[in-house]
Structure formats: structure tokens, C-alpha cells
Amino acid sequence: MSPFVVGLGEAMVLFQPADGRPLAECATASVHVAGAELNLLAAVRRAGVRAGFCSRVGADPFGERVVSAAEELGVETGLVAVDPRRPTGVFAKDVRGDGARRVYYYRSGSAASALDERDAERALAAGPTVVAVSGLTAALGPGPRRAVRRVAGAPGVHLALDPNLRPGLAPVTDLLLELLPVTAWLLLGVDEALPLFGTAEPGEVFRRAAAAGVGEVVLKGGADGCWIAENGSPVHIPSAAVHIVDPVGAGDAFAGAYLGARLRGIGPRGAAWLGSRFAAGVIGAPGDTDGLPGADAAAALVADASLM
């Protein structure tokens, strides 16, 4: 059966200054669509694997924009439901003089914050090989938390989990720990390793994750590259980034490329190499998916990764 990845989560419309000035002063802003699961799915699709987005959007222009953006990325949108009672979430990204970014979310009461078991059942009914979820979705509220738990426990479906822990959102560490025994791929950031495993040392993270029942872990270190496990020992893969414009979304691009490569039969080393190339492109462009390689460039990178 050909691999099919379904991501369950929220995508929003993103506004960010287009003239390099902070939000409070900018005269123009660029408009993008972003969200952890959709970002990941875009990279999965660019790696040559079928991808579908399961979510809710409002009956508004922002919802239309989310759907059209996903379709332009090659992500299937038949699992996106329209909620006429709630709006599509939006957020804004501020760029500071020192290069730091600050993000302001306006997602309280959004359509996707009402995700629940019905959405999980819709995702599973599509027959995915893999369901991708993140801690961000679980943190949206009780309904999304139940939806994540439902897809994670489905027989015959592999779980790809990106913790995406955010201090400003509801704590979900307890749920993530509960999901580890059914997680096929854990796409883990170094900053998330400590709250989940009590350590950020790669070798020990791999040992504790295996003891918890996780199938495979890739440890994302941002500018420090990433670590994979080979024969039980950590192997470091350096970052490919050379030009930094906006780092937001790079971790999702890495995770999606890694997952897509693994589903195509590429080994962890090649998958991590591919993830680093996808992430480098996203870091070098504004928006969360604008820097992904085009179809031809992505196919060439996948071919190179398959040789590793």
C-alpha cells in the first residue's frame, strides 16, 4: 500500500511585516498560511508522499485561504470541515531589530480549537498509513486533546508525534508521555527532550525513548543540526542552513522531510540529511513553507538521500 500521511491540527493565516519594520510601525504586511501539521504535510508531499490535512476552518475568507494554500502545496483538503459558528484562527509575527521573532496568536475560539473525536474518526476513515499530530493541537483544548488520543490509539495506523511544546499553552506533557508507547516516529526537539525524558543528551534520550516503547527518534537541534541513532549510538548530522531570514517553520519542514523519506524506504541518515536541506530552505525565506524546494529540486534531493 502506498504511504498516506494525514495530519490532524490547526492552520491559520499569518501576517508579518513586509518592509522589515516591527508590527507597530510597518506600512505593509505579507500574508501566509501556516500551522505545525500543515507545514509538516507540505514537506511530506514535497518529499513525494501523499498527504492529507484534517482540520476545521471558519466559513470566512481566511478559511478559504487556508484550504487554497494547502491545495497549492499539494496537500489534500477533503478532510477539512467548515464550521459556520467559529472563525479561522490568525496570527502575526513581529520581527525585532536584533533578528528575534515574536508571535501573537488570535486563535481562542477558532474553528480548529473545537476539533474532537468526530474529526479523528474522519481522519481515520480516510485510511492513512500514518497520522501526524503535535502537542500544539493537544494544547488547543479538551476536544483536540481527545481527538489526538483517539487517532493515536487506532489499530493499524502508525503515529508520528512532534511534541511542539509551548510554555504559553496548556500543559500536555502528561498526554505526550501516554502516547510514547504507540509512537512510531518521535520528531523531538532538543528543548523538548528534558521535560519528556529528563535529559537532553542524545544517547540517553534514545535509550529512554526506546524503553518507553517509541519506535524511532530523530532529535532536532536547530542550528546545531540533529542526531539519529545507528546501532544504538547517536550520530550527528550538521545543519545545512547558511542564510537565515526566518527560522519559524524549519523544524516542521525537517520533520516532514524526514518522515516522507523514511516512508519511501530511505534510511535515517539519508532522511536526516534531506530534512536538513528542506529546513535550510525554509530558514532562508519568509513564511513557514515558502522556502521549501520546488518539485524538481525536491525530487533531486530525495534521489541523493536515497543513496546514503
Compute φ and ψ for 23, nearest 5 degrees: -55, -40
Active-site amino acid positions? 252
| 283: helix, strand or coil | helix
137 Cβ contact partners less than 8 Å away, ≥ 6 residues apart = 8, 9, 10, 36, 37, 115, 144, 147, 148
| 118: helix, strand or coil | helix
State the SS3 of 149-196: HHHHCCCCCEEEEECCCCCCCCCCHHHHHHHHHHEEEEEEEHHHHHHH
Among candidate residues 198, 144, 135, the one with its CA nearest the CA of residue 168? 135
Check: CB of residue 57 under 8 Å from CB of residue 80: yes
Q: How far apart are CA 27 and CA 66, in angstroms?
A: 24
Q: Quick one: 168 exposed, middle or buried, by C-beta within 10 A (0-12, 13-18, 19+)?
A: exposed
